[in-house]
Chains A and B, each alone.
Chain A
Amino acid sequence: MDDSILSNVYILGGIAFVAATVLYLVSKKFAVRTDEMVIKIAEALPQANCGACGKAGCADFATACARSDESSFANLYCPVGGAAVMQKIASLKGYAATDRAPSVAVLRCQGSCKNAPIKVEYDAVSSCRIANRISSGQSGCPDGCLHLGDCVKACKFGALSLNKETGMPEVDTRKCVSCGACVKVCPRGLFEIRKQSQAGGMVYVACRNKQKGAVARKNCSKACIGCMKCSKINEVIKVENNLSYIPPELDADTFGKDLAENCPTGAIIYKERIHD
């Protein structure tokens, strides 16, 4: 009786010992050597794994930082962590911190239910991607917001919400980390990541409609009609296919107010400070 219990203990104990030895040896032989630096950098990162930095995730970004030299480090930037995190990583590496003007996502459309009234009802799947395939949309503007919120679903930082009354997605500028998920997902390319000016302001054309002025205005009161008034204020502004685009280089602090006041339809949005 006792004997059989003992022999079981010996046999199983023996197996356990052999297995443990094998596992130990294997883990030694195939050990993944992680760089101390990578671990330290990863600890400094926000661990949002959003891909906004252009890498596959925070671990990948940390590896890239660890392996970078002085010049390639200048090209790496984590928009989520911002200047504070980059400062930390820079001091770990002993390089100068990269600094970027803070940016934020802006919606280039003002086709709300008020400005661009609904003419036909859409009853299919609640997805902008599908709606974009089926038709020009409820207001008739073929380039305008479809109000179905693909962008809201795509934003991992809760910076976007759909305003029930206007139907428009709204950006919470304090939460937006400029990861660009909304830019990628919107089938009509309505989002843009734009840099803020010195004073923290911004000026942009909130319309992407390329139809002729009269046609565009029929569907939406805030459409850009391609009148060229803005391009006369500063010639870096180009009007092509009845649509104006203000390049981000243009100094919003100097020209913003003038531009917004002179646009006859109100397509140009100027904010003195992005965080109001």
Chain B
Amino acid sequence: MIKKFTFPMGGIHLAKHKVTTDCPTVVADIPEFVSIPIKQHIGSPAKIMVSKGDKVRVGTLLADADGIVSADVHSSVSGEVTKIEDLPGASGYEEKMITIKVEGDSWEEDIDRSEDVEKEINLTPEEIIAKIRSAGIVGMGGAGYPTPIKTTIPEGKKANILIVNGIECEPFLTADDRLMVEKAEQIIMGARVLNRALGIQNAVIAIDENKPRAIEILTALSKLYVGVNVKICKTKYPQGGEKQLIKAITGQELPLGKLPIDIGCIVQNVGTVFAVYEAVLKNKPLFERVVTVSGDGCKHPGNYLVRIGTPISSLIEQSGGLDENVHKIVMGGPMMGNAVVNLSAPVTKTTSGILLLQDGEFTKKEASSCIRCGKCALACPAGLRPFAIKQAVSFNDTVEHMRKLHAGDCIECGCCAFVCPANIPLLDYCKIAKQEIRKK
């Protein structure tokens, strides 16, 4: 029997709804206009390098990273810059975006567009990190933390293991699964590139057991390369959370307030690892990604290779359009994603899925009073007491009290809200508590 890994505390089992597992990734249509936000990552917005009227090509640098915690932004299309202004994003709040009118599809010359898998890596770690930086790569699992920072090991620390996160534990989403099936060799090469940058020979690709194709292909391939292994994890939500994954794979507990590197771990999403491969060995900046369009209200669910900046509405159009049954549109997974209020908002580097949901399992229901059942506390993988945090927020308690409840350690997985029989949106309260703590 193969040993399956998991984390011990909290977590829930969700219906998977992975209807698009067997849908090969199709290249999405390039829209007439793309709007590319200059901040798609955690940190400061990038500095704009183009002006209105400029001609750009696919891969042209649009905005330059401003400081260490920031990331470059490249054009995903060729055409003319028509607008640089604040436009509403998916939440309806405005962000600075660069709008480009698409003309043709001409790419920057140094991007290698051939299908061959590049296998020679003879760059130094510094060169690799420099290439990752100039490709504007950020964590594609959702957080959008700039990858070069994660790859640069701070003075006095040492990396022991690179964990490639192929868990994708949210219902509906299959973008990472498809990537692992279709681009297995590239992902392994990407892991080897990162191994080299980190000065280690120990990459573990973690996949959960509901992805048999990906497990099969990657296990077979990994046997051919030194320093890359596959480990299978149990299907449980949130197995893909950084802390939970480290616990499952290494058995180590990530102490509160510490970074994975403090215990020698680096966790990267498979999408990010693939982007690293393309950046380092193919000179391709991050300007497109795989997005799952799905949900019980979606007519033709599928996986699409989408240029960053493509309006959400264009993707929805391509998968059958909207009808009156769609109750809610979500960007990301149904558990951690955010409601979309503006369909002209663009797909960004961190958009893993667009879900069209009917009224039902994943839409909010009328909340009643807490019955003190404690289910939320049992489900919380961070070991918190969500009901107490909710109470602290609704009673406007002091920030010290919220800190005592460790609200800052909430990983925003939403397990608590999902299990609550009173339908209390506990996650929303936890997010407010986190925000209050951060403000102080």
Contact = CB atoms under 8 A, between A and B. Distances in A.
Q: Is B truly associated with A?
A: yes
Interface residues of B, number: 20
Contacts of A120: 341
A124 B429 CA distance: 11
Given A135-B339, A137-B92, 11 more contacts: A125-B367, A125-B428, A125-B429, A130-B428, A133-B435, A134-B339, A134-B428, A135-B91, A135-B92, A135-B341, A136-B341
Given A120-B341, A124-B425, A124-B428, A136 B92 contact: yes
A129 interface: yes
A140 B341 contact: yes
Contacts, number: 48
A135 B428 contact: no
Is chain A's binding surface mostly helix, strand, loop or mixed?
A: loop
Interface in B326-344: 328, 338-339, 341-342
21 contacts: A119-B341, A123-B364, A124-B364, A124-B425, A125-B425, A129-B432, A130-B428, A130-B432, A133-B432, A134-B338, A134-B428, A135-B338, A136-B88, A136-B91, A136-B342, A140-B88, A140-B92, A140-B342, A142-B88, A142-B93, A142-B94
Interface of B: 86, 88, 91-94, 328, 338-339, 341-342, 363-364, 367, 425, 428-429, 431-432, 435
A142 B431 contact: no
Is chain B's binding surface mostly helix, strand, loop or mixed?
A: mixed
A121 to B, nearest CB: 9
The 7 tightest CB contacts between A and B, nearest first, are A136-B92, A135-B341, A120-B341, A135-B91, A130-B428, A135-B92, A123-B364
Contacts of B428: 124-125, 130, 133-134
Q: Interface size bucket, A side?
A: 10 to 19
Interface string A135-147: 1110010100000
A135 B93 contact: yes
A57 to B, nearest CB: 16
Interface of A: 119-120, 123-125, 129-130, 133-137, 140, 142, 211
Contacts of B94: 142, 211
Nearest to B426: A125
A150 B362 CA distance: 26
Nearest to B396: A185
Nearest to A187: B432
B92 A142 contact: yes
B86 to A, nearest CB: 8
A129 to B, nearest CB: 6
Contacts of B432: 129-130, 133
Contacts of B92: 135-137, 140, 142
